[in-house]
Amino acid sequence: MALRTPQEYIASLQDGRVVYYKGERVKDVTSHPTLSVAVKHACIDYEMAEDPAHRDLAVIDDPHVGETISRYYHLPRDSDDLLKRSKLIETATGLGRTLVVLIKEIGTDALFALHMVARHMDDNLKTDYLPRVQAFYRHCATQDLAVAVAQTDVKGDRSRPPSQQIHPDYYVRIVDEKPDGIVVRGAKIHTSVMTNSNEVIVLPTRNMSEADRDYAVAFAIPVDTPGLKMICSPYGAPRHGNFDHPITSQHKMTETLTVFDDVFVPHERVFLQKEWQYAGALAKTFVEFHRFTAISYKLPLTDTLVGAAQLIADYNGLLRPGHIREKITRLIAYTQTLRALTTQAALACRVAEEGIAVPSPLLVNIAKLHFAENYHEMIGALQDISGGILVTAPGEDDLLNPETRPLIEKYLGGREGVSAADRLRALNMISELTAADFGGYQAVLAIHAEGSIEAEKMTIHREYDFQDSLKLAKYVAGLDA
Ligand SMILES: Cc1cc2nc3c(=O)[nH]c(=O)nc-3n(C[C@H](O)[C@H](O)[C@H](O)COP(=O)(O)OP(=O)(O)OC[C@H]3O[C@@H](n4cnc5c(N)ncnc54)[C@H](O)[C@@H]3O)c2cc1C
């Protein structure tokens, strides 16, 4: 079996997984009023594989695996593979009305990194990680699995490394080693899509020293493994009503506090076991792929901001004023700069271990920094163009009430030819994107997801090759003959 139907995916989530939502144990994530919205959102991935309009992008006859698989699982070999992967992520996120699907994007980012770092370790330390990674990769690709990644630890005192925390479980660690596997304890946070995934890959989140060796651990386990507990965030619960909430009535992603309560991991699923020298390399290599995923899935969001600004300016009869055009122009430059950098990061890839193409970390991080640092200003521009009605408009119920509908229709239309209902639909979309809790979610996601702004700056400084600019500066200054 290489490709699953949406129904097969949904059925695969009905297992013994331990999920808590708003203080209660969830019996079945596929029928839970909130979590089922996330399941349905994730189905976009499986629907695309069946849809003739998207199949060529979503599916590939993979010579390496020897089967027809989801393109996400295709190990990128060159720029073209990276560009197609980026396009797939962008298209799926567009279908998700600006919300990334993520059930294969993040897992494959981790699998690519694991291939590369496992090869390094096996070459240098004579370990046998690569065959384990390859077997797990094959399992996921040929079963068409949904895979979450739990990297971010809860971290306690951020100024201290894992081994110097006030209690020993602020970072996930190995607490026992048995003949057939290891036992792990600790908690990760912000784990996206895990409530509706089949497997979770656990990675270290930072560099480690020898004192931290128990914390240098990477592995993968099924989400229903005994001892694995997910406490789901209630933030951004889905809203009812497609008119008032065009995005959140249909799309949701979940995040969990992910607790490993003495979880047994068999040896064949362990990919890093105390090799502390490689914790940082694994964390960093994953992030190199994951930020490329990020800048790809940001594109539908930034494009929507442009389209939304143009739409509401038109509906409000404001296409001509200079300051509106200036704001829309900045929005266009914002999204097109992101697109150009994303494309160029794929074109400037390097082919690394295992023949895997790695997008340019310098350009990926510049793109991510550009997106994150300017996001709130761009949201401000769209709010400015839209007007205060973003948070004061009557709702769908008022449009359905025969007493209030004529009043709304009479008073809330836009320029000639634009009905109140159409104008409110456009405003509701902008309100969700910029002012409602989904807007808040996107704003925090922009700053933190895939690593904080400072992490991006550090990578840019580290990756930039100063040689040519230094040489030029010296020449201009007359320092070198
Ligand atoms: C919606 C969402 C989804 C996410 N999904 C996932 C996921 O699926 N899997 C996953 O593993 N992670 C996920 N993340 C986590 C994401 O990668 C982190 O939010 C990010 O790495 C920042 O970590 P933090 O949130 O713990 O913030 P912190 O690390 O607490 O950072 C807060 C601030 O402190 C600064 N800081 C922290 N430590 C130091 C230090 N030692 N010195 C100086 N400054 C410091 C940071 O630069 C930042 O400015 C997700 C995050 C969000 C918001």
Cβ–Cβ under 8 Å, residues 283 and 200: no
> Minimal CA–CA distance to 204: which of 162, 258, 237, 241?
162
CA–centroid distance for 327 within its chain: 28
Ligand 1 lined by 442 (C-beta under 6 Å): no
Q: Calculate how far, in angstroms, residue 327's C-alpha sits from the geometric centre of ligand 1.
A: 31
Ligand 1 lined by 444 (C-beta under 6 Å): yes
Q: What is the pLDDT of residues 368-380, one digit of tens each?
A: 999 999 999 999 9
Cβ–Cβ under 8 Å, residues 432 and 390: no
pLDDT at 480: 75
Q: What is the pLDDT of residues 154-173, one digit of tens each?
A: 999 999 999 999 999 999 99
**Alpha carbons within 13 A on the beta-carbon side of 35:** 28
Q: Calculate how far, in angstroms, residue 285's C-alpha sits from the geometric centre of ligand 1.
A: 17
Q: What is the pLDDT of residues 175-187, one digit of tens each?
A: 999 999 999 999 9
Q: Calculate how far, in angstroms, residue 415's C-alpha sits from the geometric centre of ligand 1.
A: 45
Residue 411, both tokens: 């008073």
Q: Which residues contact 450 (CB under 8 A, 6 or more apart)?
A: 287, 290, 291, 293, 294, 368
Q: Calculate how far, in angstroms, residue 360's C-alpha sits from the geometric centre of ligand 1.
A: 22
Mean pLDDT in residue range 196-210:
98
Ligand 1 lined by 149 (C-beta under 6 Å): yes
Q: Is the pLDDT of residue 354 over 90?
A: no
CA distances from 193 to 49, 123, 232, 247 (A): 19, 34, 10, 17
Q: What is the pLDDT of residues 222-256, one digit of tens each?
A: 999 999 999 999 998 888 899 999 999 999 999 99
Cβ–Cβ under 8 Å, residues 231 and 164: no
pLDDT at 481: 58
Cβ–Cβ under 8 Å, residues 251 and 37: yes
Ligand 1 lined by 450 (C-beta under 6 Å): yes
Instruction: Point out which residues pair with 220 in neighbouring strands.
Output: 201
Q: What is the pLDDT of residues 27-40, one digit of tens each?
A: 999 999 999 999 99
Task: In whole angstroms, give the CA distance from residue 147 to residue 96.
Answer: 18
Q: Which residues contact 443 (CB under 8 A, 6 or more apart)?
A: 375, 376, 379
Ligand 1 lined by 467 (C-beta under 6 Å): no
Give the predicted TM-score (pTM) of the model: 0.97
Q: Is 423 helix (H, G, I), strand (E, B) or coil?
A: helix
Q: Is the pLDDT of residue 429 over 90?
A: yes
**CATH number of the domain located at residue range(s) 287-465 in this protein:** 1.20.140.10
Owner of token pair 């910029």: 434
Cβ–Cβ under 8 Å, residues 10 and 50: no
Q: Give the nearest ligand 1 atom to 192 CA.
A: 8
Task: In whole angstroms, give the CA distance from residue 230 to residue 18.
Answer: 6
> Minimal CA–CA distance to 269: which of 326, 329, 200?
200
Mean pLDDT in residue range 307-321:
97
pLDDT at 239: 87
Owner of token pair 């996400």: 72
For atom 38 of ligand 1, which residue has the closest CA?
A: 158
> Minimal CA–CA distance to 98: which of 345, 349, 433, 326?
433
Ligand 1 lined by 202 (C-beta under 6 Å): no
pLDDT at 1: 63
Ligand 1 lined by 151 (C-beta under 6 Å): yes
Ligand 1 lined by 191 (C-beta under 6 Å): yes
Q: What are the boundaries of each domain within the chain?
A: 287-465
Cβ–Cβ under 8 Å, residues 437 and 236: yes
CB atoms within 10 A of CB 438: 24
Mean pLDDT in residue range 371-391:
98
Phi, psi of 28, rounded to the nearest 5 degrees: -150, 110
pLDDT at 57: 98
> What is the bridge-based pairing of β-strands 199-202 and 147-150?
parallel
Ligand 1 lined by 201 (C-beta under 6 Å): no
Task: In whole angstroms, give the CA distance from residue 64 to residue 111.
Answer: 15
Task: In whole angstroms, give the CA distance from residue 254 to residue 451.
Answer: 18
Helix, strand, coil % over all residues of the chain, rounded to 5? 55, 15, 30
Q: Calculate how far, in angstroms, residue 452's C-alpha sits from the geometric centre of ligand 1.
A: 6
Q: Which ranges in 244-321 belong to alpha helices (H)?
A: 279-315
pLDDT at 180: 98
H/E run at residue 61: strand 59-62
